[in-house]
Amino acid sequence: MKILPFSVVIISKNEEANIARAIQSVLPVCDDIIVVDSGSTDLTITIAKNLGAHVIEHSWQGYSKQKNLGNDAAKYPYIFSIDADEAFSPELREELISLFGSGQLKTMYRVNLINHYGGKPIKHGAWYPDWHYRLFDKTQLHWKENDDVHEGLSYDAHTSKANLKEHLYHFTTQTDAYYLGKMENYARLYASKMKPKNKKGGILKAISSAAFRFFKEYFLQAGFLDGQAGFKIAKAHFIYTYKKYMYLGL
């Protein structure tokens, strides 16, 4: 394959089970891979370095700040931001070759993720489609550093943008316990962010919002078509929604 003029930035902590897959998926088209690690105690750093990545070790400053550190160290103007538990699909690599070969680039691009639960690709419910801006020109955009729950790029209505046709794989979780732990962390982050803004919580808000979210994802968005995995995802999101409003009420 052809090496393309973009850098890949990955943030990590204790991702030895995932980091090799992420790096190996981009190596056929990228020769500048930046891993910003926030204190791994496993083999994440060793694996990344052995695969040729440039590893920056930096204490955790929030999602956006960690990613911006990687952007600053990247040698190419265009950045493709991926998580350690994600990977380029073969089709996405081919699309990027055509895109950069065209010489007509937008400022930013969205990619659609195929999320996996326990190894199963999910095609319904809240997880699909799952669009995110990941490829962008760092000379014009950066990650906004005022949101520690869901980071976003600093674009506006005048920013030129487009969608990629092919998929980025996201290996979201292998176990129920891991995903529930992730939802617990997100619930606490949401509550800590929204309390200063006087967002209201409490038992009634928690129950009604959680019940509606489960109904929407499992029935209206056809999560039931993904079988047991679809039920587990909707259940985890019920628990997340319930907890974030309960934490707000404390």
Taking the chain (250 residues) in runs of 10, the rounded mean pLDDT of each run is 96 97 98 98 98 98 95 98 98 98 96 96 97 98 77 94 98 94 95 91 97 98 98 98 95
Residue 241 corresponds to which tokens in the numbers above?
């929604």
In a domain, 1, yes or no: no
| Angle at alpha carbon of residue 45, lines to 41 and 51, rounded to 5° | 150
For residue 151, the model assigns a pLDDT of 76
Same domain, 187 and 166: no
- The enclosing domain of 58 has a CATH number of 3.90.550.10
User: Could you count the other beta carbons within 10 Å of the beta carbon of residue 211?
Assistant: 13
Is residue 40 domain-shared with residue 87, that is, in the same domain? yes
Same structural domain for residues 195 and 80? no
Report pLDDT for 147. 56
Do 92 and 141 have their domain in common? Answer: yes
Please say which residue of 117, 143, 173 terminates a domain.
173
pLDDT at position 2, please? 92
- Rounded CA-CA distance 25/168 in Å is 10
Q: Which domain holds residue 141?
A: 6-173
159 lies in the same domain as 182: no
Say yes or no: 49 and 111 in one domain.
yes
Q: How many CB atoms lie under 10 A from the CB of residue 88?
A: 26
Local structure of residue 122 (DSSP, 8 states):
P
Cα 3 to Cα 27, 31, 47, 101, 119, distances in angstroms: 8, 7, 21, 11, 29
